[in-house]
Structure 1
Amino acid sequence: MPPASPSAPKTAVAPSGSQFVRGSLGSGVALGARAAGALLLNKLLAVYGGPGGLTLLAHFQNLLALFTTLPNDGTHVGAVKYLAPLQPAGGRYRAWLGAAVVLNGAALLLGLGLLWWVPGPLVSVFQPTAGWLALFGLGIMLLVLNALVGVMLLAAGQLRAYIGLTVTLSVLGPAAVAAVLLSNKETPAVSEALLAYLLAQGATLLPALWLARRHDLLPPLRGRLSKVALQELSKFLLMAVGLLLFGKAVDFAVREVLVRQFGLAETDLWQAVVKLSDNYTMVLAAVMSSVYYPRLAALAAQPAAQQQWVRTVLRLLVPVLAGGFLLLYWLRNWLLPLLFEARFAPAADLLAPQLLADWFRFIAWPLIMVFTAQARVGRYVAVQAGSAVAYAAALAVLVPSYGLYGALLAGVGRQGLLLLWCAWYFREYWRR
């Protein structure tokens, strides 16, 4: 039998639950590093950032998400789908990679142009100087390029290299924040510390490029752009626009409203609960993006095998998540002061609705990702829009009556409705 050509697709293998477990355990080092880094970062801002330090951290990370959602949740998701089945030496691989670079560049220009044009609504809370804004823009560019190289490693199955990058990024960010905050204990320089956090993460681009070259994943991008590749990746970019408008931007606006209504110190209690959620969400997101989604995308041409993969993962997630959340709730009075500071102990009363909302959200997550793997732009954006409208309506009703607790109850309603809709829409998946 003659050898496969350089651009020949890889062969998809039928999935199993053991593959998901092995892949998840294989990512354990990276997940542990990311979780430890995030917890350390939260602790630093809670202890040394002064009142509102934790909320400012969350606001900054949400701001980063506004600039990186289009590349990371759009272009890069599509790149994994189309690069994963291909050999890096082929022309089709170069076509998809070139299209991803161009679309990332366009998204970055759009976001950074908006930052310079109307910085007030985005960064005024950080009291930025012109130099701060320039370094912020540089950090964003480095971060997006680093994420694209990570996607190339992931699509090529170089999980060990990807894990190494993740560990490096997880160490550098908190180290930079600690260096700034601990050198200014009397007058916390939170804005400078957060900028250092961004630039330290962006600096991992250099080892990322070295790893990609070592694994022959940096082919020269020459020739004309592929219109087909641009059109197909643009579908994922449109889905990311939906996530940006109806997800990240909504979260950003909700935090703004709560800070204005309740102040930074009180909002810190709500933020502590949400930050805890962000930490375990980050861990699950890493598993889903590195283990679940690449195989889901690779099985796009095999509907029966794809449905089996979804069912397999859900059978594992439902009980494991339920047990994990019950354990978190049982440990809440000890855990929150440990992870943040003693003044965050009252946040334990806010934890139950957040855990319930996250259980609903995580169960719906593998189903929603089917839209992404199948590039169903209209359905994906419609789901995001409907979820955001339901959330806004619930916030308008519940926050005036229940305060910060009402914001969390609104999340339960939003995610519960989304899960019910997913269970109905994907009902064929439950039939063998």
Structure 2
Amino acid sequence: MPTSSPIRQFVRGSLGTGVAVTVRAAGALVINKLFATYAPAGGLTLLAQFQNLMALLTTLPNDGVHVGLVKYLAPLQPGSPRYRAWLGAALTLNAAALVVGGAVLAGRGLLDWGWGYTVAFLAGIALLLGQGLLGAALLAAGRLRAYLGLSATLAVLGTSAVAAALLGHRSPPEALLAYLLAQGLTLAPALGLAARAGLLRGVRLAAPVSRLALRRLGQFLLMAVSTLVFGKAVDYVLRDYLLATFGPARTDLWQAVAKLSDNYTMVFGAVMSSVFYPRLAALAGQPAARNYLLGVLKLLAPGLAAGLGLIFVCRDWLLPLLFAPRLLAAREFLGAQLLGDWAKFISWLFIFQLTARARTGPYVAVQAASAAVFAGLLALLLPRFGLQGAVLAHAARYGLLLLACVGAQLRMRNEE
């Protein structure tokens, strides 16, 4: 198959998926704007810390269990014994992740707003995990339109809840809880869509759990664990340190560029996961895989550079527009952030090869090494450059990772 054909497929698929994901990104931008405008100083950082805390409890199910569930459910007939076994195993693993996460939450005091708030928070997470599990079943059944509809509904409900709470003069913690619980309400339409598609036939909550299904799905948790430990947890600790060291108002400047990055990263990551990765996985082990990778790389490297460069050029009106006028000073951090993001996105193309080939060990090693380098860079640069050191460390981290990826790719080519 000519290289141009899969590249054209990549472009078409990216446009279709990108439109759907952009709806979610728009909702996230509105929430950022609301917190930057109506919450007290430090509100934007509080939002990011809350979302990071949500990610700490949902990463293992979403990036591990549900990814494996799509793989194993896809070839099965809904309602069959094996189909029900995979659903039961996924539900069990999700429940275990929630119990462990709740124990850590209570033991470490990560939420200091009282037990009632903590219980409501965990209830919201449980609803969100249920919606995610049903969403994975819809994806496995090829119900992409229903899945995208759920994603859009989740974004609309979360944004509406934050707007109602903040404009109604509720406190930021109350607005955050409303944001989570409103997203959790998408479990109801998810149940309806799954039932209409016949995906819940014969499902019983008290059914025996398949050990084989547990073991197979558990394997997908390994990569998700590395993402959690070396990604989300590092981000949480860094934000906590910056808050304690530089204060809420100053940290909000760094957080503004980080939140801007999160939004376009979400769009890029979703497109890569749904369009680029499946095709790369299908070609794994074939010479065409490298041609496909290089073709997408040639397309994205200049395209991403142009897009991120445009953001930099428009920074003086973009930051006040998306956040608040007081956060215009965040422009001093934007250049290094954008440079690091470009290197991060390009390095992801190479790292996807490890996932496509199920190279769990090397994948975890790359994540661990990257996090260790980042920690060392932060320790070196924060004392010398202050808050600017955080974005400089980000740029240096992914610049070094990209160089390592290119070097590894060249070695692989020479060995063949």
- Point out the more displaced range, 280-289 or 402-411: 280-289
In structure 1, distance between residues paired with 2:27 and 2:91: 29
- What is the CA–CA distance in structure 2 between the aligned matches of 1:224 and 1:373, rounded to whole Å? 32
Match of 1:17 in 2: 7
Among 25, 32, 44, the residue aligned to 2:34: 44
Is 2:69–2:136's contact at 8 Å kept on the other side of the alignment?
A: yes
Task: Note the C-alpha offset of 1:305.
Answer: 4.7
**C-alpha deviations, 1:125-172, integer Å up to 9, x for none?**
xxx122211110000011111112222222333221111111111111
In structure 2, relative to structure 1, the CA distance for the partners of 1:85 and 1:305 (3 Å cut) is farther
The Cα RMSD (Å) is 2.3
CA distance in 1, matches of 2:64, 2:56: 12
User: Deviation string for 1:403-428 (max 9, x for gaps)?
Assistant: 11111110111111211222233447
Length, aligned pairs only: 410
C-alpha separation in 2, matches of 1:304 and 1:213: 42
The 8 Å contact of residues 37 and 171 in structure 1, kept in 2 or not, is answered as yes
Q: Partner amino acid for 1:236?
A: F
Matched residue of 1:230: which SS?
Answer: helix
Identify if the C-alpha distance between structure 1 residues 97 and 426 changes in structure 2 by more than 3 Å, giving closer, same or farther: farther
Q: Letter of the 1:138 partner, please give it.
A: A
In the alignment, is the contact (CA less than 8 A) between 2:79 and 2:202 conserved in 1? no
CA distance in 2: counterparts of 1:366 and 1:355, whole angstroms:
17
Check if 1:258 corresponds to 2:242: yes
Cα distance in 1 for residues equivalent to 2:235 and 2:20: 27
AA at the equivalent of 1:32: T
| 1:114 maps to amino acid | V
CA 1:101–1:305 in structure 2 vs 1: closer, same or farther (change >3 Å)?
farther
* Residue 53 of structure 2 corresponds to residue 63 of structure 1: yes
2:379 is aligned, of 381, 391, 396, to 396
Deviates further, 406-415 or 316-325? 316-325
SS of 1:16's partner is helix
Instruction: Name which of 110, 114, 123 aligns with 2:111.
Output: 123
For 2:312, the equivalent position in structure 1 comes to: 329
1:275 to 259, 274, 283: 259
CA contact (8 A) 2:350 2:405 kept: yes
Partner amino acid for 1:159? L
- Distance in 1, Cα, partners of 2:300 & 2:84: 36
Alignment of structure 1 residues 354-365 onto 2, 5 Å: 354-365=337-348
Q: How far apart are the structure 1 equivalents of 2:201 and 2:63?
A: 24
Amino acid paired to 1:422 = C
Amino acid across the alignment from 1:231: R
Deviation at 1:218, TM superposition (A): 2.8
- Give 3-state SS (helix, strand or coil) of 2:202's partner: coil
List aligned pairs for 1:171-320, cutoff 5 A.
Answer: 171-184=156-169, 189-221=171-203, 225-299=209-283, 303-320=286-303
Q: Which residue of 2 aligns with 1:348?
A: 331
* Cα distance between partner residues in 2 of 1:299 and 1:205: 35
The residue matched to 1:249 in structure 2 has which SS? helix
Whole-Å separation in 2 of the counterparts to 1:234 and 1:307:
30
1:8 aligned partner:
none
Q: Per-residue deviation at 1:174?
A: 1.1
TM-superposed CA distance for 1:97, in Å, is 3.1
Comparing 245-254 with 224-233, greater Cα deviation is found at 224-233
SS in 1 for 2:111: helix
Cα-to-partner distance string for 1:380-417 (whole Å, 9 max, x where unaligned) = 21111111110000000101111111111101111112
Does the CA-based 8 Å contact 1:371-1:380 persist in structure 2?
yes
Contact 1:20 1:291 in 2 (8 A): yes
Which stretches in structure 2 are left out of the alignment for 5+ residues?
none
Query: What is aligned with 2:351?
Result: 368
Native 8 Å contact 1:140 1:202 kept in 2: yes
Q: Which residue of the other structure, out of 128, 132, 137, is the alignment partner of 1:143?
A: 128
Alpha-carbon distance in structure 2 between the residues aligned to 1:405 and 1:39: 23
- Report if aligned partners of 1:67, 1:111 keep a CA contact under 8 Å in 2: yes
1:158 equivalent in structure 2: 143
Give the % identical residues.
Answer: 58
* TM-score, length of structure 2 as denominator length: 0.92
Which residue identity is paired with 1:233? L
CA distance, structure 1, for counterparts of residue 164 and residue 65 of structure 2: 34
Unaligned runs of 5+ in 1: 1-13
Corresponding residue SS for 2:247: helix
> Is residue 82 from structure 1 mapped to residue 72 from structure 2 by the alignment?
yes
Alignment partner of 1:420 out of 390, 403, 406: 403
Q: What amino acid maps onto 1:123 in structure 2?
A: L
Native 8 Å contact 2:27 2:159 kept in 1: yes
Q: Distance in 1 between matches of 2:146 and 2:411?
A: 38
Residues 306, 138 of structure 1: alpha-carbon distance in 2 compared, 3 angstrom cutoff? farther
Task: Find the aligned partners of 1:93 and 1:421 in 2 and give their Cα distance.
Answer: 41
Equivalent pair of 1:149/1:208 in contact (CA under 8 Å): yes
Q: Following the alignment from structure 1 to structure 2, what is the Cα–Cα distance between the partners of residues 91 and 418?
A: 45
Quote how far apart the aligned CAs of 1:227 are. 3.5
What does the per-residue CA deviation read over 1:9-43, in whole Å, with 9 as the maximum and x for residues that have no partner? Answer: xxxxx971222222222224422211110110000
Separation in 1 of the partners of 2:214 and 2:292? 29
C-alpha contact (below 8 Å) 1:143/1:205 kept by paired residues: yes
Cα displacement (A) at 1:226: 3.8
CA distance in 1, matches of 2:71, 2:295: 20
In structure 2, relative to structure 1, the CA distance for the partners of 1:169 and 1:113 (3 Å cut) is same
Q: Name the stretch that deviates more: 146-155 or 60-69.
A: 146-155
C-alpha contact (below 8 Å) 1:29/1:163 kept by paired residues: no
Letter in 2 for 1:77: V
- 2:97 counterpart SS class: helix
Partners of 2:172 and 2:365 in 1: how far apart? 38
Match of 1:105 in 2: 95
Task: Kindly indicate whether the alpha-carbon contact (under 8 Å) linking 2:340 and 2:399 is maintained by their aligned counterparts in 1.
Answer: yes
